[in-house]
Amino acid sequence: MKLQGPKGTRDFYPDDQARRRYIHDAWRRVSVRHGFDEVDGPIYETLDLYKVKSGDGIVSELFSFRRANGTTDYAIRPEFTPTLARMVAARANALPRPIKWFALPNMCRAERHQRGRLREFDQWNVDLLGLDTPLADAEVIAVACDLLAELGVTPAMVQCRISHREVVRQILAALGVADDKMQDAFTLLDAKGKMTPEQFTDKAVALGLGKEQVARFDAMCGKTYAVGDVDALRDAAGIDDDLADLRALDATLAGFGLADWCAYDLGIVRGLAYYTGTVFELHVTVSDERALGGGGRYDKLIELFGGPAMSGVGFGMGDVVLANLLEDQGLLPEHLAPTPDAFVLAASDLGATHLPGLVATLRRAGLHTRMSYKQTRNLGKLLKDAEKARARFAVLLDDTAAEGQAQVKDLATGEQSPCAITDLAQQLRL
Amino acid sequence: MKLQGPKGTRDFYPDDQARRRYIHDAWRRVSVRHGFDEVDGPIYETLDLYKVKSGDGIVSELFSFRRANGTTDYAIRPEFTPTLARMVAARANALPRPIKWFALPNMCRAERHQRGRLREFDQWNVDLLGLDTPLADAEVIAVACDLLAELGVTPAMVQCRISHREVVRQILAALGVADDKMQDAFTLLDAKGKMTPEQFTDKAVALGLGKEQVARFDAMCGKTYAVGDVDALRDAAGIDDDLADLRALDATLAGFGLADWCAYDLGIVRGLAYYTGTVFELHVTVSDERALGGGGRYDKLIELFGGPAMSGVGFGMGDVVLANLLEDQGLLPEHLAPTPDAFVLAASDLGATHLPGLVATLRRAGLHTRMSYKQTRNLGKLLKDAEKARARFAVLLDDTAAEGQAQVKDLATGEQSPCAITDLAQQLRL
């Protein structure tokens, strides 16, 4: 009998988990220093919750289930946003605003697994609600860029591509798309990468655009505009609006020092229909990876989930593409597991009787302490184990343990000196 | 429309999540300093995996599902041990021994929720495999007790009650239980708390015990024996065996300084049939809570999951009963959320223009930095926000920001002094 884990899921052996923890710790540390509070919700929700935002179409992507005698369908969470919206809606009046939340949920999607896409993954979620200014959009973009910088990623590797639903809407309207075709136009733009230019043109013409307009729009979307260049974007777009919202975002992004990380790209759509303003994606520019993550403003979401009118902006970043990027760019430190402060070994039978007590004392003092489980008293072999464990110090217990002495060997320098057992915790902590 | 989370699951708002994190951090910190490596596995496994150890009986306690066109049944994990056994079995020859693993998985059981029992919960798992001596049992008990001490729990609140399958088997055999009735006898003992003394006696008699023997066994199980008292236990048990295994465990527990935490209690059975030696439970003695956790030695487990013969010992501790205990005993610190290093506020319009840049600089320097989102320049109101956020320092930006100055107010002492903006990160980190 050989049992295997489900396809598209991962077993995290110590090295795998240390790498996963490296990413989680960075997500949490950066979120906290940007003033976001951690939240979480259940691993499964009612199936209905996932239909609110995404309709019935999402059901086939979910792992759903119903209890033997039950009447309610549930699903393992495929995303965190519906849970967040439910939680905000339930306490909308009691929560101090702005609401700045982050979460690190594991989640499941019933997709074919392939590079960058698994059936279970972790996703960093950051959301800022109840603040109706571009400062909120900029803060959310800032925490994403700061996370990348924290992990050694540079703007040469990843760019945050920003668009704005309202600006694109105005452009499309100016080009001749009627209001009632607008949603279809966004859907088409989002699918552009998956069709030939001819297919795209045919479908665009069906929405009321002339071929010339399609070409103009295409050219516009093929260009990016730097932070500080909103005038150039407006000129290219050929619209009258002064783009006050985008200008305010632009100024704050510059103020946050994010000009190197960000660029405007009107080709960014983000498929989800619920975005209402700024949308952005984190694009890997040095390889063929999928987007690292993305998000945008969703000012109708909380109402959709039964809460009051409340503005919001947020994004998600999965762990799979991020780990691929870090690995490809050589940004994962070789040794990520916690290293022991002390490795205690018995160099004599008499010393061995003092081993459990010393190990317990060091651990209770907060020191990461490992010990040899071998019966041998061969010092060379025992020290090799201490080195293999990457311990800072080896602590040798020999017959002098009876007089309260241990030998401490610094495994980096090789220096060895005696130390009173009662002083050891204090000494090793320095 | 009012959407709710599934019954028996939890929404973790910031205060809830901070409390959850407090427990998780302690679990992880104590595990690491005892030399355990973190692992994890998928949130769902094949349903078959859960039948290996527990038979078909477990299926009704699981949230199981099958994909629309699929042929495999899966279930959300109700425990971690089958995943661990599968992972160890798959790489048994490659993994360095002893294997010392811990995990902090969330898991689900389709039980009626009640105090101390939820449908989704977190469970600390600690396992030590490939070391066939009582030192392994003692180390696993030690990490459990050290976790409790780390959280302020004392031996007056929780006791680790230890028994040994082989000792109990010998007692039962001496009392007249035949080998082929032994498993039934263990099952009966485990269910003892759920029946009247008369029911228990009737069933025990059916297994071949006389009423007098039942009374003797009962009296034996009603007593506990301290660490160091194995002789007294042996006398009461009336068996010939010298209990070498239990004596070695006893000596190591004493060596680890755990005499206050531990006692032997032959009434501890642990229902799971796969335990082979030491078994133990963490009993709350100051209130009516369920057991905090428990575990034992399972020397046949890895074989059962298709691996080689390998000894093992481990335990699990859930977060729900633990959090109840900490709360009841007043052991949860009042403020668990991370507190800001700096709260930046604009005391003038000119100052406000410098705010995003300063906030970004402080965050990039690793400081937990929050800011005021209010448009007001009323210093009293803004400082009140800084205090409410429990920040260490308020940083005031007024017109002097144009000359590179900020005012820093220590919110604990009320002291205020000017500081060059370029030195702020350095100053606040001290």
Indicate the number of domains in chain B.
2
Which of B14, B76, B356 has its CB closest to that of A252? Answer: B356
Span A130-155, average pLDDT: 97
Which of A6, A72, A255 has its CB closest to that of B42? Answer: A6
- Residue A102: strand pairing partners: A38, A126
Which of B1, B256, B306 has its CB closest to that of A306? Answer: B1
**Residue B116 domain-assigned (yes or no):** yes
- Residue A141 pLDDT exceeds 90: yes
Element (H, E) at A126: strand A120-129
Kindly indicate the confidence band of residue A281, based on its pLDDT and cuts at 50, 70 and 90: very high
**Residue A334 domain-assigned (yes or no):** no
List CB contacts of A362: < 8 A, sequence separation 6 or more: A341, A342, A344, A369, A395, A424, A425, A428
**Residue B5 domain-assigned (yes or no):** no
Considering only alpha carbons, which residue of chain A is nearest residue B97? Answer: A373
Q: Is A42 in Cβ contact with B9 (below 8 Å)? A: yes
Which of A49, A353, A356 has its CB closest to that of B3? Answer: A49
Q: Is A76 in Cβ contact with B44 (below 8 Å)? A: yes
Range of weakest confidence among A70-84, A209-223, B122-136, B253-267:
A209-223
For residues B105 and B168, state if they share a domain: yes
Q: Is A10 in Cβ contact with B17 (below 8 Å)? A: no
Span B351-367, average pLDDT: 96
What's the CATH number where B280 sits?
A: 3.30.930.10
Q: Is A6 in Cβ contact with B74 (below 8 Å)? A: yes
Q: Is A46 in Cβ contact with B10 (below 8 Å)? A: no
Q: Compute the nearest-CA separation of A402 from chain B (Å).
A: 14
Cis peptide before A333 (omega within 30 of 0): no
Task: Give the best residue of A4, A22, A34, A43 to mutate against chain B (max B CB count within 10 A).
Answer: A43
Rounded distance between C-alpha atoms, residue B51 and residue B8, angstroms: 24
CA distances in angstroms from A88 to A31, A62, A83, A103, B373, listed in the order given? 19, 23, 9, 14, 19
Rounded distance between C-alpha atoms, residue A391 and residue A370, angstroms: 8
Of B127 and A235, the one with more pLDDT = B127
Q: Compute the nearest-CA separation of B228 from chain A (Å).
A: 16
Q: Is B45 in Cβ contact with A363 (below 8 Å)? A: no
For residues B208 and B346, state if they share a domain: no
What pLDDT shows up at residue A92? 94
Q: What is the pTM of this model?
A: 0.96
- Mean pLDDT of chain B, nearest integer: 93
For residues B288 and B371, state if they share a domain: no
Closest among A347, A352, A324, A343 to A393, alpha carbons compared: A343
Give a three-class secondary structure readout of A276-331.
CCEEEEEEECCCCCCCCEEEEECCCHHHHCCCCCCCEEEEEEEHHHHHHHHHHCCC
Span A46-68, average pLDDT: 89
Residues of B within 8 A of A91 (CB-CB) are 13
- Residue A2 pLDDT exceeds 80: no
What pLDDT shows up at residue B418? 96
- Residue A143 pLDDT exceeds 80: yes
For residues A322 and A412, state if they share a domain: no
* Number of cross-chain residue pairs from A and B with Cβ atoms under 8 Å apart: 234
Q: What is the β-pairing status of strands A158-164 and A262-264? A: parallel
**Residue B334 domain-assigned (yes or no):** no
> What sign does the CA torsion over A188, A193, A195, A196 have?
positive
- Residue B257 pLDDT exceeds 60: yes
For residues A306 and A350, state if they share a domain: no
Of B299, B328, B357, the one marking the end of a domain is B328
Range of weakest confidence among A111-115, A297-301, A419-423, B193-197:
A111-115
Q: Is A338 in Cβ contact with B32 (below 8 Å)? A: yes
For residues B324 and B361, state if they share a domain: no
What pLDDT shows up at residue A361? 97
Of B297, B328, B359, the one marking the end of a domain is B328
What pLDDT shows up at residue B362? 97
Q: Compute the nearest-CA separation of B396 from chain A (Å).
A: 17
Residue type, B53: K
Rounded distance between C-alpha atoms, residue A80 and residue A31, angstroms: 16
Residues of A within 8 A of B89 (CB-CB) are 2-3
Considering only alpha carbons, which residue of chain A is nearest residue B47? Answer: A6
Q: What is the pLDDT of residues B318-336, one digit of tens each?
A: 999 999 999 999 999 999 9
Q: Which two tokens stand for residue B185?
A: 């006898």
Considering only alpha carbons, which residue of chain A is nearest residue B366? Answer: A33
Q: Compute the nearest-CA separation of A186 from chain B (Å).
A: 28
**Residue A7 domain-assigned (yes or no):** no
Q: Compute the nearest-CA separation of A319 from chain B (Å).
A: 15
Q: Which two tokens stand for residue A13?
A: 């052996």
Closest among B226, B142, B25, B124 to A361, alpha carbons compared: B142
Residues of A within 8 A of B10 (CB-CB) are 41-42
Span B373-402, average pLDDT: 95
For residues B63 and B173, state if they share a domain: yes
Q: Is A43 in Cβ contact with B37 (below 8 Å)? A: no
**Residue A336 domain-assigned (yes or no):** no
Of A288, A304, A328, the one marking the end of a domain is A328
Q: Is A5 in Cβ contact with B42 (below 8 Å)? A: yes
What's the CATH number where B396 sits?
A: 3.40.50.800
For residues B97 and B244, state if they share a domain: yes
Kindly indicate the confidence band of residue B277, based on its pLDDT and cuts at 50, 70 and 90: very high
For residues B204 and B312, state if they share a domain: yes
Which of A43, A60, A363 has its CB closest to that of B146? Answer: A363
**Residue B3 domain-assigned (yes or no):** no
Rounded distance between C-alpha atoms, residue B38 and residue A139, angstroms: 33
Q: What is the DSSP letter of B303?
A: H
Considering only alpha carbons, which residue of chain B is nearest residue A75? Answer: B65
Percent of chain A with pLDDT over 90: 76
Kindly indicate the confidence band of residue B406, based on its pLDDT and cuts at 50, 70 and 90: very high
Residues of A within 8 A of B52 (CB-CB) are 1, 3
What pLDDT shows up at residue B2? 63
For residues B191 and B303, state if they share a domain: yes
**Residue B336 domain-assigned (yes or no):** no
Q: Compute the nearest-CA separation of B216 from chain A (Å).
A: 36
Range of the domain at A303: 14-328
Considering only alpha carbons, which residue of chain A is nearest residue B118? Answer: A42
Rounded distance between C-alpha atoms, residue B145 and residue B261, angstroms: 7
Q: What is the β-pairing status of strands B369-371 and B342-346? A: parallel
What pLDDT shows up at residue B354? 95
For residues A93 and A175, state if they share a domain: yes
Range of weakest confidence among A7-21, A244-258, B260-274, B333-347:
B260-274
Rounded distance between C-alpha atoms, residue B290 and residue B288, angstroms: 7
Considering only alpha carbons, which residue of chain A is nearest residue B306? Answer: A1
Q: What is the pLDDT of residues A96-125, one digit of tens each?
A: 999 999 999 999 999 887 777 899 999 999
Q: Is A138 in Cβ contact with B356 (below 8 Å)? A: yes
Q: Compute the nearest-CA separation of A390 from chain B (Å).
A: 12
Span A241-254, average pLDDT: 95
Residues of A within 8 A of B361 (CB-CB) are 257
Q: Is B43 in Cβ contact with A363 (below 8 Å)? A: no
Span A116-143, average pLDDT: 96
CB A46 within 8 A of CB A20: no
For residues A213 and A270, state if they share a domain: yes
Rounded distance between C-alpha atoms, residue A19 and residue A12, angstroms: 9
Q: What is the pLDDT of residues A337-366, one digit of tens each?
A: 999 999 999 999 999 999 999 999 999 999
